[in-house]
């Protein structure tokens, strides 16, 4: 039996509203708003703690060091830190915003994962996303690769690949555009890659650029040694992307045998989905439950505003793998405030076939204002017993870790932040010290003599 571990990114102390997200309506509409980094980090921590209290293994990934001095230097901003901050803000504030971005908190974009039971060599495969569609996110690829490799440096059955080449044809945004459906043990499943273009590379968006390509899915399928008979690729509809569906996880979500999608999520017709359902049933001896939400039930715009499909579905622990799964649904509070999304959730909870035991509404106001819901904050990694036992016990979120991280956030994080504040070199050095002081950083980052430069 595989156990799904949730890896959540801790929201960094430089969290601000830069409006940098390509096709991300919430991010762009809240640009230049004063942020609340302390509240943001505590909201994310409390969401992760809810998952841990439900008995699901939960890991927190540390925030990344910002700014990346090399990134600023590569764009022509030389000199000491104080000079870099001042010149970037005065000449091109968007560059300073990108250099200070805390976007690594949306860990669903960090990588694509295939568990041991899907791969031909029986190893867990992780491909960190190159994230080249956005200047602020492309910095993360190297850092996340190093973190995953440090965590599994002694595991022969875990392969952490290099990110795909940083070229437009290989734009990759990780698990936000990847679905895995499986049986109740997690062992037998199929994988689905979602892109903004077709197999021929065509796309028809009018408003926003696509952020994932068909060629990316094919490359990851090869790298992960996946059986092409159990892999599928789907294309997002141009209408969805132009409405603000910059990732598949804003319009579709899957967990075990359940697959929820809006009717305009994909370009494919019922024939394609029937084939996916047939292969899934042959692979898992389980019937897929595909729930299609029509525009009359929830408009496309409401789906984007509420982030209903960016909810997080989890399976409660069970002693015997043969036990039927019991699910909890974690939705953003915006779903509760919208009558249509609330009605859908309440209806699904009454449907005994879905086994949705409980619905939780969580407050993620700061993340949602930047376009990130509960599922954006986590990367799901299914691990077997050996892989679970190889991880350090103190890695998993428990009450002691929760309180230590809570106290660290309260001590180090600013209550309010505007981009102009990040020209203050003393504040920036304080925030860098905060990242270094994260109490569980050593699990992921090897100590370095000079992790950041002072003035």
Cite the active site residues: 173, 247, 376
Tell me the backbone φ, ψ of residue 454, rounded to 5 degrees. Answer: -90, 180
Tokens of 270: 């019922």
Rounded distance between C-alpha atoms, residue 432 and residue 430, angstroms: 5
Considering all CA atoms of the chain, what is the largest pairwise distance in Å, rounded to the nearest integer? Answer: 63
Rounded distance between C-alpha atoms, residue 370 and residue 363, angstroms: 14
Tokens of 1: 């039996």
What three-state secondary structure class fits 74?
Answer: helix
Angle between helices 81-91 and 425-436 (to 10 degrees): 120
Rounded distance between C-alpha atoms, residue 31 and residue 232, angstroms: 36
Tokens of 205: 């968006």
Tokens of 155: 């595991």
Instruction: Order across the sheet with 189-195: list the strands.
Output: 178-182, 189-195, 231-235
Rounded distance between C-alpha atoms, residue 405 and residue 38, angstroms: 12
Q: For 195, left (φ over 0), alpha (ψ -120 to 50), or beta?
A: beta
Sign of the CA dihedral 129, 130, 136, 139?
Answer: positive
Q: Which of 128, 198, 181 is nearest to 325 (CA)?
A: 181
Rounded distance between C-alpha atoms, residue 447 and residue 453, angstroms: 15
Q: What residues have CB less than 8 Å from 204, skipping those under 6 apart?
A: 238
Helices (H) and strands (E) in the chain, counts: 17, 15
Rounded distance between C-alpha atoms, residue 31 and residue 26, angstroms: 9
329 - beta bridge partners? 313, 359
| 46, 95, 397, 416 from 361: Cα distances, Å | 12, 35, 21, 25
CA atoms in the 13 A half-sphere facing the CB of 101: 26
Tokens of 43: 């909201």
Q: Within a 10 A sphere around the Cβ of 447, how many other Cβ atoms?
A: 8
């Amino acid at each position: 039996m595989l156990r799904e571990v949730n890896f959540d990114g801790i929201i960094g102390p430089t969290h601000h509203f830069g409006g940098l997200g390509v096709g991300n309506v919430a991010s762009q509409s809240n640009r230049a708003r004063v942020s609340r980094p302390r509240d943001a980090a505590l909201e994310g921590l409390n969401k992760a703690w809810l998952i841990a209290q439900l008995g699901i293994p939960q890991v927190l990934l540390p925030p990344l060091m910002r700014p990346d001095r090399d990134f600023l230097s590569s764009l022509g901003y030389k000199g000491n830190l104080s000079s870099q901050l001042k010149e970037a803000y005065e000449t091109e504030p968007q560059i300073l915003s990108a250099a200070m971005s805390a976007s690594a908190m949306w860990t669903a974009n960090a990588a694509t994962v295939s568990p041991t039971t899907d791969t031909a060599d029986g190893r867990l495969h992780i491909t960190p996303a190159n994230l080249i569609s956005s200047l602020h996110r492309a910095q993360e690829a190297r850092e996340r690769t190093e973190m995953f490799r440090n965590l599994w440096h002694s595991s022969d059955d875990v392969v952490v690949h290099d990110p795909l080449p940083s070229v437009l044809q290989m734009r990759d945004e990780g698990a936000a555009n990847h679905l895995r459906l499986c049986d109740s043990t997690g062992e037998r499943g199929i994988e689905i890659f979602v892109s903004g273009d077709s197999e021929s590379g065509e796309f028809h968006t009018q408003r926003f650029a696509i952020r994932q390509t068909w060629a990316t899915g094919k490359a990851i399928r090869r790298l992960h040694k996946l059986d092409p008979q159990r892999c599928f690729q789907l294309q997002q509809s141009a209408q969805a992307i132009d409405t603000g569906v910059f990732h598949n996880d804003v319009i579709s979500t899957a967990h075990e045998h359940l697959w929820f999608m809006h009717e305009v999520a994909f370009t494919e017709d019922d024939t394609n989905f029937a084939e996916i359902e047939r292969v899934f049933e042959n692979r898992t001896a389980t019937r897929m439950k595909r729930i299609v939400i029509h525009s009359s039930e929830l408009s496309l715009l409401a789906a984007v505003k509420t982030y209903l499909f960016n909810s997080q579905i989890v399976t409660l622990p069970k002693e015997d793998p043969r036990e039927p799964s019991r699910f909890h649904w974690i939705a953003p509070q915006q779903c509760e405030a919208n009558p249509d999304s609330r009605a859908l959730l309440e209806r699904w909870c009454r449907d005994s076939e879905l086994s949705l035991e409980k619905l939780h509404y969580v407050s993620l106001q700061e993340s949602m204002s930047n376009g990130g819901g509960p599922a954006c904050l986590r990367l799901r990694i299914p691990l077997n017993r050996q892989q679970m036992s190889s991880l350090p016990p103190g890695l998993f979120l428990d009450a002691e870790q929760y309180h230590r991280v809570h106290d660290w956030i309260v001590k180090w994080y600013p209550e309010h932040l505007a981009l102009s504040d990040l020209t203050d070199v003393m504040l920036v050095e304080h925030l860098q010290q905060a990242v270094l002081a994260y109490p569980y950083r050593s699990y992921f980052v090897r100590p370095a003599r000079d992790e950041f430069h002072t003035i």
